[in-house]
A and B are shown apart, each in its own frame.
Chain A
Amino acid sequence: MIDSLDISVVSWSKAQFALTAMYHWIFVPLTLGLAFIIAFMETLYVKTGDEEWKKITKYWMTLFGINFAIGIATGIILEFEFGTNWSNYSWFVGDIFGAPLAIEGIMAFFMETTFIAVMFFGWNKVSKRFHLISTWLVAIGANLSALWILVANAWMQYPAGMHFNPDTVRNEMVNFWEVLFSPVAVNKFLHTITSSFLLASVFVIGISAWYMLKGRHILLAKRSIIIASVFGLISSVFVGFTGDGSAIEVAHKQPMKLAAMEGLYKGSEGVGLIAIGMPTPGKVYNDNKDPYIFKIQIPKMLSILGYHDKDAFVPGITDIIDGGYTYKNKNGEEVVAPSTAQKIEKGKLAIQALADYTTSSAEGNKEMMAYHKNILNENFEYFGYGYLKDPASTIPNVPLVFYSFRVMVGLGLLFIVFFGLILFLVLEKNLEQKRWLLKTSIFMIPLAYLASQAGWIVAEVGRQPWVIQDILPTSAAVSNIGVGAVQVTFFLFFIIFTILLIAELKIMFKQIKLGPKEGGN
């Protein structure tokens, strides 16, 4: 059946999922970060009793509310898509994906109905302390809510803590803690939330800078910039550390993604990192073209980033396809990497074993069931390769991943300098005179969103063709539906989400122009 699927169904379903996920991610990071910034501001209000801090808190809370309201439930669309476009996948992942999403749903519901209500409606109705606790719980709850989604995503990048049940054709969770605390999940969560803190800090600084340029609400702007630049500086440094952790995980668990991030075709020991470069368009893994039109390289840096060893071997795309190099497997043993062609053969064996197991099960032949199950278990780690036509189909879109990675890292480094500079100047009471920097601060806001989206492109495009790493490719995960239906909903979403985005921007701009209702001068 899968072979007969029109490939455009896969492409359109992928495009639709990417579109909805990217729109959803416009709203989420600001919610995650701004919630903490508001909590810091309110803490200062409760500690000092200074009414100005209360006004500042309420102002940013209004912008938080706009973003939260427009963004709310945009993620639900992704769940709709699982049931319609990705039904094979939805069934195949079983409770592993369902459990974290259910926890997220329950947490989000309680947080949103209780503590956000106190946060917005509770001024002068509950005690200062209770209000502050509610604000902190909103911040912590929103981030914990994100944890469960990111755990589910991390499992797709590195399936752990499960076993495949051929009787139900589902993966079943055998160790919740392995799923929750898989190194990929921990890194992904920390990297994602800290990058969201960074984005929210840039947002607060950018808007405050605009007030400074206009000569309005100067005290609000200065105080907001101090909070945001400290939070942003700490977060951006932490983003660097967690990014380093992510690089290690990618190097060990998704080497093809790392190779695509670098446009590295032929691996070696002590590989450099391309600081600036341009991959050769149309390059294929087994031709003799130079992989780069030009490059400026930092010697040995990729080996250091990926393995914390300046002389470590980093496999390139061709090495991964041809196999034959040694690497450490899940159990930490040095093994020789099989070629992708061998993995495809093993995958086909696993798929056939699943079919034969079912036939034996229907016949009640327990001996043959055990025999086929054994073959399935032995080859299950390559199950998904059995759906691939040729080794080249394991290569993601190299230029897109390469450039997205550089956008993310380049902007990440720029933000560290930016936060440091802003903090220094605002503490020196010199920021208002630097009008060029205030103007630059406004333009930093879209750059923060660009970096955030680029990070997800690296993570998700870089792991193609897999929906579950090595176990299920997108071509097998997709439902057997007509391409027309997917195209219709793609454009429907495009229109709806664009309207929502325009609505958010209009309301947000209007509110920023109005400024704080009560003082903030």
Chain B
Amino acid sequence: MPNNPIKSIIQFYYDGFKSMTIGKTLWTIIIIKLFIMFFILKLFFFPDLLKKNFKNDSERSRHVLEQLTNKK
């Protein structure tokens, strides 16, 4: 093990990942899953509506106020 603590940590993770067997399948699943979640679902299907549609908190609170108080 190298003496430099940062190198030691990197080496620790490197050796850990390298020696994985079933872990490689799991990491593949994790990476695919995170990609689908953050780069497909979040980007295309789940916008934060208040952040996306309004510039600041004042506009956001006004919008929610309208939603909560304006009844037809």
A residues with a Cβ closer than 8 A to B are 1-4, 62, 65-66, 69-70, 72-73, 76-77, 80-81, 83-84, 87-88, 90-92, 117, 120-122, 125, 167-170, 351-352, 354-355, 358, 476, 479-481, 485, 488-489, 492, 496, 500, 503, 507, 511
Closest CB-CB distance, A376 to chain B, in whole Å? 11
Closest CB-CB distance, A33 to chain B, in whole Å? 20
Residues from chain A with Cβ under 8 Å of B48 in the complex? 83-84, 87
Pick the contact of A81: B23, B26, B37, B46 (CB < 8 A): B46
- Interface residue B6 (Cβ < 8 Å from any Cβ of A): no
Distance in angstroms between the alpha carbons of A130 and B70 in the assembled complex: 59
Q: How many A-B residue pairs have CB under 8 A?
A: 118
Distance in angstroms between the alpha carbons of A62 and B70 in the assembled complex: 55
Are A70 and B49 touching (Cβ within 8 A)?
no
Distance in angstroms between the alpha carbons of A511 and B26 in the assembled complex: 12
Are A500 and B33 touching (Cβ within 8 A)?
yes
- Interface pairs (17), CB distance under 8 Å: A1-B71, A66-B26, A69-B23, A83-B46, A83-B50, A84-B48, A87-B49, A88-B67, A91-B61, A121-B13, A122-B12, A351-B68, A358-B65, A358-B69, A479-B49, A485-B45, A492-B45
Which residue of chain B lies nearest to A5 when distances are taken between CB atoms in the complex? B67
Are A492 and B64 touching (Cβ within 8 A)?
no
Pick the contact of B46: A84, A117, A167, A352 (CB < 8 A): A84
Pick the contact of A169: B29, B51, B61 (CB < 8 A): B61
Are B69 and A355 touching (Cβ within 8 A)?
yes
What 19 additional pairs, Cβ within 8 angstroms, besides A121-B13, A488-B45? Answer: A66-B22, A66-B26, A77-B37, A77-B41, A83-B46, A83-B49, A84-B45, A84-B46, A84-B47, A87-B48, A87-B50, A88-B67, A354-B69, A358-B65, A476-B67, A492-B45, A503-B29, A507-B25, A507-B26
Q: How many residues of B contact A (CB 8 A)?
A: 38
Are B72 and A1 touching (Cβ within 8 A)?
yes
B residues with a Cβ closer than 8 A to A are 12-13, 15-17, 19, 22-23, 25-27, 29-30, 33-34, 36-37, 41-42, 45-51, 57, 60-61, 64-72
Distance in angstroms between the alpha carbons of A91 and B65 in the assembled complex: 10
Q: Which of B19, B48, B49, B50 has the most CB of A within 10 A?
A: B49
| 8 nearest A-B pairs in the assembled complex, by CB-CB distance | A121-B16, A83-B48, A69-B26, A80-B46, A355-B69, A87-B49, A91-B64, A84-B46
Closest CB-CB distance, B66 to chain A, in whole Å? 6
Distance in angstroms between the alpha carbons of A88 and B42 in the assembled complex: 19
